Structure 1
Amino acid sequence: MSARTNPFKPSAGHLPPVLIGRDLVLDDFQEGLDNGSGAPGRLMRITGARGIGKTVMLTEFRRIAEQRSWQAISETASAGMAQRLLSKMQPQKGNFSFSFEPSVSVFNVGGSLGGMRYERDSMPLTLREAMSARLDTLEKRNAGLLVTIDEAQAADRSDMVAVATAAQHLISEDRNLALVFAGLPSMSSKWLNDDVMTFLRRAQPERLGDIPLEEVSSALADTFHASGIILKDEPLHIATQATAGYPFMIQLVGYHIWRVVRRNHDLSGPVEVSIDEAQAGVKDAMSRLGDTVHGPELDGLSPIDKTYLLAMAQDDGPSSTSTIAERMGKDVKYAGIYRIRLIEAQVIEDCGYGKVDFAIPYLREYLREHAAYIRMTLGLSEE
């Protein structure tokens, strides 16, 4: 890594310079590929809050699979996902040589794809045939197929049924297939309770959490050192504590401290990060966290969800659910509905004894800073 190149990459899905705190998940996946059909790691669901590293894990899984000469096909859930997967299963010029002709009717057409037309109700069978044909080629050279689906909570039901149905049949046939889908916690309640997709309940659950601070400290120090910058003692402590073990914040803090140091020095020789530089970088990281995580998270919540969070933000620590209800002007049963919703979304967490706290670092501070604007958009008074 060049001393003039920032090693930290706080962008969605970009592999960090050092992937920490995920060894068990990575081991489960690698063992799944190596242990053959039926291994638990070949069918996996990954959940976690925004910024916790779900997309990064899928990127790393694809890298691991490709090292084993597997083919990795990835999709982000949105309308037409199954159709796009079907397209990617077709042979590409200079790539696989098999031919694929879907055995579906062209009447009452539900969609079209590169000249091929299919009925939407036939998609599960069509996708299964395409995946089977691709596996025929891959398995001849002892390889397999990995399919990853990100943001699965946003998928159309018809697309998820198509993928789940195809995968279920192929796995039951002991084909060399791995399927990993990732999403917000709402993904589980949305899809695992669907009677048509009970197969997905058998997917190995991996819930991503925060990284232990001792691992964060070592990773930050090593990454800075590799680029010719010394981060130690109090500046390292400031940087580590500011991350709160939150993967996206680790990248933000590292990126912005490195950026501050780069502005202050030419980096032609070893440079040591000062306390002022660490604090300045942390301040910049905090600002970017609000823009990239807190704002979008709140945008996806209902007005009453936001009202609940504003009531929580008045406390410096865990909040009593009865106190929150009182501040909302509602009874505990009513407030409890939104408590459950926000816990399932991993925006807040249950702290026991009738208390909850924020699960996303610095969301309390963001809500306080933007309370007036949020209340205005909700039509609330500043009481």
Structure 2
Amino acid sequence: MDPRRNPFAPGAGSKPPELAGRDIILENVAIALDRIRNGRHAQSAILLGLRGVGKTVLLNTIRRAAEGEGIIGIPIEAPEGQSLPSMLVPALRTAMLKLDRGQAAMTLAKRGLGALARFVKAFKLSYGELEASIDLGEPGIADNGDLEADLIDLIDVAGAAAAERGTALVLFIDELQYVAEHELAALITALHRARQNERPITLVAAGLPQLAGQMGKAKSYAERLFLFTSIGPLERIAATAAIVHPIEAEDCSIEAEAVDKILEVTQGYPYFLQEWGKQCWDTAERCPITAGDVDLAYPTAIAALDDSFFRVRFDRMTPSEKRYLRAMADLGAGPYSSTAIAEHLGRKPSAFGPVRASLIAKGMIYTPGYGETAFTVPLFDAFMCRIMPVVN
């Protein structure tokens, strides 16, 4: 069929044509943000889930909806190895300028810009014109060189500026699990203090399942400050809608048996649904899309997932890390005990401590329970068996 009309959108953070099964999550966060803007208490929202469940899509959808209501969104992606201050500075500067725009008489946004400039100086960051605006800041605000103390000042003054404009500031941080523990602790403390001061500033973040444990380790009260919401594969009804409705919107249809096959092979994970939907549309010669079309699309869909979703993560691994992951795949779908993995490789569990720690840091595995290990990427066990037919 005409690829120009293909409705499906596989891609990192690409919004699917049918955002199915997430209405309750979107509504709960929208309520929390409205409460915070109106000076009422609400927990910050943390979305947790494996790769491919649509966390980034949800984060972006929530941000766009909030901005449509006049809330100032601050989008940040936390890549591996980048410091929290270096991520916050440009994002907060943009937010402060939005609050200050056209408000010559307003002082708190300008005060926020000055505090940000002093923060840049204190942490020896470099960010263009901020270096030339140090005089805007008040001595002693966000310029001590202590991250926790300075971030408390910075978040507080940003929240005060938002309150002055009758709005809220929301940090939207993706891949939050990559933020170092001491920086995560400073951010949690700053947000906690801002809530105590009734500032309309909060966090909506997304990360891998281990993020909840990381935040609890960073600050013991994190579980009370944040609402952790687990995002998983779609239930059958929602997964079906994600496939059927976009096709019907293009005046086409898909047979029930074909849908069943797609749901079976994707296990309801949104990213996989989009890839399989795309490949089945391109494979089919006419409507309706049949079970036979799904079978014909199988090699192309698997190859596309291997190249665009799995391989990019596999290529970041060291040989020893690849062997460890391949051993996990040999044991089935998981989770796996660390002892079983080590025994499969013919060594003691202690021998793989550094490898396991590195894989957790890279976001490839996590610990769903004590002594357990699991992939953060759905269906990665099958990919490992394809890419490494035997354990080297």
Displacement after TM superposition at 1:14 (Å)? 1.9
Q: Work out the percentage of aligned pairs sharing the same amino acid.
A: 24
Say if 2:166 is the partner of 1:146: no
Q: Which residue of 2 aligns with 1:19?
A: 19
Q: Is the 8 A contact 1:231 1:272 kept in 2?
A: yes
**Structure 2: tracts of 5 or more residues without a match:** 135-142
Q: Which moved more, 1:164-173 or 1:144-153?
A: 164-173
For 2:372 and 2:184, how far apart are their aligned partners in 1? 36
Displacement after TM superposition at 1:135 (Å)? 0.6
For 1:359 and 1:106, how far apart are their aligned partners in 2? 35
Structure 1 304/198 Cα, relative in aligned 2: closer, same or farther at 3 Å? farther
For 1:28 and 1:148, how far apart are their aligned partners in 2? 16
For 1:23 and 1:107, how far apart are their aligned partners in 2? 43
For 1:347 and 1:282, how far apart are their aligned partners in 2? 27
Q: Which residue of 1 aligns with 2:130?
A: 116
- Structure 1-normalised TM-score? 0.78
**Structure 1: tracts of 5 or more residues without a match:** 266-270
Aligned amino acid, residue 290 of structure 1 = D
Structure 1 107/250 Cα, relative in aligned 2: closer, same or farther at 3 Å? closer
For 1:276 and 1:144, how far apart are their aligned partners in 2? 52
Structure 1 vs Structure 2 CA RMSD: 3.7
- Cα shift readout 1:251-287 (whole Å, capped 9, x = no counterpart): 11112222223xx35xxxxx21133322233432222
Aligned amino acid, residue 363 of structure 1 = F
Equivalent residues in 2 for 1:348-359, closer than 5 Å: none
For 2:161 and 2:327, how far apart are their aligned partners in 1? 53
Structure 1 351/278 Cα, relative in aligned 2: closer, same or farther at 3 Å? farther
Q: Which residue of 2 aligns with 1:278?
A: 294
For 1:135 and 1:281, how far apart are their aligned partners in 2? 51
Residue-pair matches, total: 361
Structure 1 110/360 Cα, relative in aligned 2: closer, same or farther at 3 Å? closer
Equivalent residues in 2 for 1:277-316, closer than 5 Å: 277-299=293-315, 303-315=319-331
Q: Which moved more, 1:355-364 or 1:80-89?
A: 355-364
For 1:216 and 1:247, how far apart are their aligned partners in 2? 8
Structure 1 121/332 Cα, relative in aligned 2: closer, same or farther at 3 Å? closer
- Structure 2-normalised TM-score? 0.77
Among candidates 162, 178, 188, match of residue 135 of structure 1:
162
Equivalent residues in 2 for 1:1-383, closer than 5 Å: 4-36=4-36, 37=39, 39-40=41-42, 42-77=43-78, 78-79=82-83, 80-92=86-98, 95=101, 97=103, 98=106, 99-101=109-111, 102-103=114-115, 104=118, 110-117=124-131, 119=143, 120-121=145-146, 123-125=150-152, 127-139=154-166, 143-156=167-180, 160=184, 163-195=187-219, 198-199=221-222, 202-261=225-284, 264=285, 271-299=287-315, 303-315=319-331, 321=337, 323-331=340-348, 347=365, 360-371=377-388, 380=392
Aligned amino acid, residue 90 of structure 2 = R
SS in 1 for 2:205: strand
Displacement after TM superposition at 1:213 (Å)? 2.5
Structure 1 199/8 Cα, relative in aligned 2: closer, same or farther at 3 Å? same
- Cα shift readout 1:19-76 (whole Å, capped 9, x = no counterpart): 1222332232122124444544x40222222212111111121123123222212111
Aligned amino acid, residue 15 of structure 1 = K
Aligned amino acid, residue 90 of structure 1 = M
Displacement after TM superposition at 1:225 (Å)? 0.6
Displacement after TM superposition at 1:308 (Å)? 3.1
Displacement after TM superposition at 1:138 (Å)? 3.2
For 1:218 and 1:116, how far apart are their aligned partners in 2? 49
Structure 1 178/274 Cα, relative in aligned 2: closer, same or farther at 3 Å? same
Aligned amino acid, residue 67 of structure 1 = G
SS in 2 for 1:111: coil
- Cα shift readout 1:329-378 (whole Å, capped 9, x = no counterpart): 123566699789979957478699x9977664432221112115x95xxx
